[in-house]
């Protein structure tokens, strides 16, 4: 029998965008962000690259992706030697999943300013995302040759080493990051994840550091709880999941989900497990894993009618959801 557990690792986040706001709400938002004002300034001074760069940022913040990219392109053409303008344009392309366009922007910029640490590091990050680690390493090595203490380059180096299964070297790289930039929360998170993969409790130290630095983000607290869960200290895991819900984010569904999992798989308290999965479904009604696991709980208490209903519901959410199909097949044999 199979069940579903959830654990989220730090990763690169791609933004998906929507332009479905109503016109009245859109106008109000534009005015609040100063879009109307900055557009008037651009009309009076159409050669000011900084104004276009600022308006691009506003467009991006309200999910007007094409408008943001268009303004960023204008800013780079008006001032081709400004690092930030090219980096902003590249980032907009990257977050729009136009990776090759992002790379092309930075390659052209590096022809003009080959010593730009920001551009070298960013293009290394993009090649790493494409899993072209050889090319990524070339740019990162060049950045670190120019400045061996450049924390951002060490971070990307750490990512490359992590993804190419070199955990000890990756740890060294992220240690360099926090040495040169002690405020880098993501580096502490990565150190925690790497030590957790090695099943080393020092991971907790790095997660706690990240949590203290960013107490409103539940991810570090969640990773602490999951470390205890993986090491079969279920009481400490549940204590930390509950802390998230009490102190950080009462709607953090992953905490409910994993408490449901612990009660389902290890404590065999199927009633309590279902209550936690119900909490998940109140927040995420279409979360198929929670529906399936609730069905599994029903199956374990021999309520096969309810179990079948949950498995069918899971299949309706995700067509031919494998675990639900397997569950239904099990029930057919009972």
User: What is the count of structural domains for the chain?
Assistant: 2
Percent of the chain with pLDDT over 90: 87
Q: Which domain holds residue 77?
A: 28-114
Give the pLDDT mean for 215-234: 97
Q: Give yes or no for residue 73 having a pLDDT over 50.
A: yes
With contact defined as beta carbons under 8 Å apart, do 327 and 300 qualify?
no
Of 88, 114, 140, the one marking the end of a domain is 114
Distance CA 88, CA 72 (A): 7
Query: For 170-181, what is each residue's pLDDT tens digit?
Result: 999 999 999 999
Query: For 31-61, what is each residue's pLDDT tens digit?
Result: 556 899 999 999 999 999 999 999 999 999 9
pLDDT confidence of residue 7? 54
Residue 199 within a domain: no
Q: Give yes or no for residue 111 having a pLDDT over 80.
A: yes
With contact defined as beta carbons under 8 Å apart, do 146 and 122 qualify?
no
- Here the CATH number for the domain that contains residue 44 is 1.25.40.10
pLDDT band at 19 (very low <50, low <70, confident <90, very high): very low
Residue 281 within a domain: yes
Distance CA 225, CA 240 (A): 5
Look-up of token digits 């506003």: 58
φ/ψ bin of 11: left (φ > 0), alpha (ψ from -120 to 50), beta (otherwise): beta
Q: Up-side HSE of residue 71: CA atoms within 13 Å toward CB?
A: 23
Query: For 129-164, what is each residue's pLDDT tens digit?
Result: 999 999 999 999 999 999 999 999 999 999 999 999
Residue 184 within a domain: no
Residue 289 within a domain: yes
17-26 own/partner pairs: CB under 8 Å, 24+ apart: 17/63, 17/65, 17/96, 18/63, 19/63, 19/64, 19/65, 21/62, 21/63, 26/62
Residue 312 within a domain: yes
Of 80, 114, 148, the one marking the end of a domain is 114
User: Average pLDDT of the chain?
Assistant: 91
Residue 212 within a domain: no
Of 68, 93, 114, the one marking the end of a domain is 114
Residue 232 within a domain: no
With contact defined as beta carbons under 8 Å apart, do 290 and 277 qualify?
yes
With contact defined as beta carbons under 8 Å apart, do 170 and 197 qualify?
no
Give the pLDDT mean for 293-297: 98
Q: Give yes or no for residue 205 having a pLDDT over 50.
A: yes
Residue 201 within a domain: no
């Amino acid at each position: 029998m199979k069940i579903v557990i959830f654990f989220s690792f730090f990763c690169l986040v791609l933004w998906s965008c929507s332009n479905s706001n109503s016109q009245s709400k859109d106008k109000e938002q534009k005015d609040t962000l100063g879009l109307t004002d900055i557009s008037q300034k651009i009309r009076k001074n159409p050669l000011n690259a900084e104004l276009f760069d600022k308006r691009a940022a506003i467009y991006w913040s309200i999910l007007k992706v094409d408008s943001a990219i268009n303004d960023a392109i204008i800013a780079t053409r008006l001032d081709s030697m400004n690092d930030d303008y090219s980096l902003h344009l590249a980032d907009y392309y990257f977050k729009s999943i136009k990776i090759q366009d992002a790379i092309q922007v930075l390659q052209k910029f590096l022809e003009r300013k080959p010593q730009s640490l920001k551009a070298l590091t960013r293009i290394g990050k993009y090649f790493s995302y494409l899993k072209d680690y050889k090319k990524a390493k070339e740019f990162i090595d060049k950045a670190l040759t120019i400045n061996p203490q450049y924390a951002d380059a060490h971070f990307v180096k750490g990512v490359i080493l992590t993804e190419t299964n070199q955990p000890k070297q990756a740890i060294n790289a992220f240690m360099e990051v926090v040495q040169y930039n002690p405020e880098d929360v993501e580096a502490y998170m990565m150190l925690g994840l790497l030590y957790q993969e090695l099943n080393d409790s020092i991971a907790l130290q790095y997660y706690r550091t990240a949590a203290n630095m960013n107490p409103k983000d539940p991810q570090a607290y969640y990773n602490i709880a999951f470390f205890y869960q993986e090491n079969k200290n279920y009481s400490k895991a549940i204590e930390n999941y509950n802390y998230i819900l009490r102190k950080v984010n009462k709607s953090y569904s992953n905490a409910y989900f994993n408490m449901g999992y612990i009660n389902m798989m290890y404590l065999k308290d199927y009633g309590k497990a279902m209550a936690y999965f119900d909490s998940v479904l109140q927040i995420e009604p279409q979360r198929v894993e929670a529906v399936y696991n609730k069905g599994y709980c029903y199956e374990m208490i021999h309520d096969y009618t309810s179990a079948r209903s949950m498995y069918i519901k899971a299949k309706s959410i995700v067509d031919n959801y494998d675990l639900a199909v397997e569950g239904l097949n099990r029930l057919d044999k009972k």
